[in-house]
Structure 1
Amino acid sequence: MNNFTTFFVSGWHHIVDINAYDHLLFVMTLCAAFKLKEWKQILVIITAFTVGHSITLVISSLGYIPDNPKIIDLLIPFTIMITAISNIRNYGKEGVFSNKNVKYVIALIFGLIHGLAFASNFKVMMFNDNIIKPLFAFNLGIEVGQLFIVAIFTLMLFAYSKILKGEHLKWNIFVSGAGFGIAATIFIGALS
């Protein structure tokens, strides 16, 4: 495999690896509040998350972010819990946190935090001073992996909404509630 493929596959595995379920959980929780007809907003919010993730990798690769795994292990589940609470609390309401643009900014900020989880590994993977090509390949792998997860999630939402005739509010509560519960368990585990 060439370097581009290596970094692409690493990005892909960073997202779709079942052992990296915190990222899978975040992506699903992030998408829970969106309906099928809002698929374009889902793509934008996922890309905003990837952009934030990319920025952290660049800053970290340049040595500007110190590593502190204990704090990172607390922040990542915390972002999932905040997203889940926001999904349930603001569902169907008008206001600042219901605004799509605000959600995109929050996804970008949370992407910055989630990028910290892989930043030290990414620095180790760097073979030379040129980070542009590896960073692009890695983040392309992340984006394709996230879109793959979103496609599966959207198919599940389609089956629930169209075939089972389920209400989107219940879907949002279930997915967000599950996201919160699992993230809370991870958070408590990181405290010990």
Structure 2
Amino acid sequence: MSEFWDFLVEGVNHILDPEGLDHFYFILSFCILYTFKDWKKILGLVTAFTVGHCITLFLSGLNIVSINTDVIEFLIPITILLSCLNNFWILLKDKSYKPQLSITYLILLVFGLIHGLGFSNYIRRFIFEDESIVLPLLGFNVGIELAQLLIVAGFLSIISILALIAKKNTKWIKLSVNLIITLLVLKMLFLD
């Protein structure tokens, strides 16, 4: 059980590491459209994203999947940018528009697959060929899930407080945050 706990802590630390802001930006980008009232949807979305990680980490841990790191490092910010563009479209669209949740789950699963490939080299350093990868990967992914939920809870708390200050008009707050994330991701894509 100690090994599971060690990898859980490693997963939490990996997500909350200030050097890995791409994951942080992505989490914020896909939960911008929601509030605490949508906690079940958010939990499902975060979990779909984590399942995507888990699949690619498992496959890469078994050396079944290996993709050029440069390609993955390019695709990860692209997923964040796509999420932000989707947010702009939804936030500026008619209020009656409701995104298809099943499609959103599928998109987050696929984006999780891509982000998981970004973790694969990182996690391979901790897993030795003669060890079972199941327990370490399970612990690492549970840690990722917990850290993501912490980010979401913190972000939604801030948005809720800002909504109270702004008299419930969160559209412009969300658009502003989305714009900031978009600019940071464009910097990541073209200047880093």
For normalisation by structure 2, the TM-score amounts to 0.91
Superposed CA RMSD:
1.7
Task: Supply the distance in 2 between the matched residues of 1:93 and 1:174 (Cα, whole angstroms).
Answer: 21
Aligned with 2:155 (options 138, 153, 169): 153
Aligned with 1:181 (options 174, 179, 183): 183
Contact 2:35 2:156 in 1 (8 A): no
Given the alignment of the two structures, is residue 164 of structure 1 paired with residue 166 of structure 2, yes or no? yes
Task: Supply the distance in 1 between the matched residues of 2:168 and 2:71 (Cα, whole angstroms).
Answer: 39
Contact 1:36 1:157 in 2 (8 A): no
Number of matched pairs: 188
Contact 2:80 2:185 in 1 (8 A): yes
The Cα shift of 1:179 comes to 1.4
Report the identity percentage.
35
Deviations 1:155-189 (A, max 9, x none): 10110122432422212211221111111111113
Structure 1 partner of 2:122: 121
Contact 1:67 1:120 in 2 (8 A): no
Deviations 1:26-84 (A, max 9, x none): 10111001133212211111111111011110111111222412111110110000000
For normalisation by structure 1, the TM-score amounts to 0.91
* CA distance 1:165–1:36, shift in 2 (3 Å): farther
Q: Secondary structure at the match of 2:64?
A: coil
Matching residue's letter, 1:13: N
The Cα shift of 1:6 comes to 1.8
Contact 1:88 1:172 in 2 (8 A): no
Contact 2:11 2:144 in 1 (8 A): yes
Structure 1: tracts of 5 or more residues without a match: none
Q: Secondary structure at the match of 1:162?
A: helix
Greater fraction of residues in helix: 1
Matching residue's letter, 1:44: G
Deviations 1:65-105 (A, max 9, x none): 2241211111011000000000111234537xx21111111
